[in-house]
Structure 1
Amino acid sequence: MTNLKPLILFFYLLAIVVMISIPSSHCSRTLLPENEKLIENTCKKTPNYNVCLESLKASPGSSSADVTGLAQIMVKEMKAKANDALKRIQELQRVGASGPKQRRALSSCADKYKAVLIADVPQATEALQKGDPKFAEDGANDAANEATYCETDFSAAGNSPLTKQNNAMHDVAAVTAAIVRLLL
């Protein structure tokens, strides 16, 4: 039994050394209350608190981001939503839309979401990197408008099969614009 005491002491000290040497980046978010508060306070200043909170908390980089970093995360979320909408449009075009008005609306929406990916997202990304939030806000607002216009395209063609994607894109883009506005 006396031979086990040094071994137990060794493992006890080893456990302490391991716990001390774990980098703080591996700790859970509950150890970073100031960043949690930054996310919550930032999201309270947006038009959709739940979308903001859900989007930012899903991103691993948000726990250590400043407001610019949070805006960059939301721009990436805009890109993801635009890609989701384009995939849905392609699925609908593949199975065949019901009538020429619906086909035209789908084609128009595809152009709008391509514009988001080709122009709005890169504009917002570059503006945030260069410290010019006004242009980032413009890019986010344009993306929100494209989603709204896409939904409107279906008014003459009947019910929109893209309402879910359009609403998601609009909400994320509006939240992005609001976060970027905090940098002005």
Structure 2
Amino acid sequence: MAHFLYLLLLVSIWFPHFFHQPFLFVNGDTDLIQKTCKTTKYYDLCLSSLKSDSTSPAADTKGLAVIMVKIGMANATSTNSYLASQLSPPKNANNKDAVMKMVLKECALKYSYAGDALKSSLQNLEDESYDYAYMNVMAAADYPNACHNAFKQNPKLVYPKDLALREDSFKHICDVVLGIIDALGW
């Protein structure tokens, strides 16, 4: 009977405590994610991006870089799709609209190139050619500048705010990748 009372006491103490604790559904190294993200320029972006991917807790530092590159590729593809959706001319198209369409096509192409550069960096990471991976990510981050410059060359065009936000987001993702590659110690 004393054994039963002891067990009941333990369960009554443990049971409420059990429901007040957060559950961790993965056994991975969340400390590595935090440590790695601290080496990047955008800690919060890094942390939220990696935590949103279910494979990141089990990844090593190179794996975390791969995950962030894939996030960058998705961002470039999304921006390319957004730009393509903006290409349909209005009913009363004029010369300014034709120039805008031309610039948007150029921008879509640049984001396509950015995605290709990130894809190349994935292979570089796989091959542990971190210097080439770094260069490809830097190239990817630079492609949106060509888009922005195309708008600057046409002063009658206004650089769309949504595109500016997408550009910043893409560049920040690339900066995070560069920080993680630096952490690999190449």
Shorter-chain TM range is: 0.7 to 0.9
Amino acid corresponding to residue 149 of structure 1 in structure 2? A
The residue aligned with 1:139 is 136
The offset of 1:45, in angstroms, is 1.1
Match of 1:55 among 49, 65, 89: 49
Aligned residues: 155
The offset of 1:153, in angstroms, is 2.4
The residue aligned with 1:109 is 107
The offset of 1:82, in angstroms, is 0.6
SS at match of 1:87: helix
The ranges of structure 1 where at least 4 consecutive aligned residues each deviate by more than 6 angstroms after the TM superposition are none
- Give me the identity figure in percent: 26
Q: Which moved more, 1:62-71 or 1:97-106?
A: 97-106
The offset of 1:103, in angstroms, is 2.0
- TM (norm. structure 1) is 0.77
Instruction: Tell me if the contact between 2:69 and 2:122 (Cα under 8 Å) persists in the aligned partners.
Output: yes
Aligned residues: CA RMSD: 2.0
The residue aligned with 2:126 is 129
1:42 aligns with 2:36: yes
The offset of 1:95, in angstroms, is 5.0
Instruction: Tell me if the contact between 1:143 and 1:169 (Cα under 8 Å) persists in the aligned partners.
Output: no
Unmatched segments (≥5 aa) in structure 2: 1-23
User: Which structure is higher in helix share?
Assistant: 1
The residue aligned with 1:159 is 159
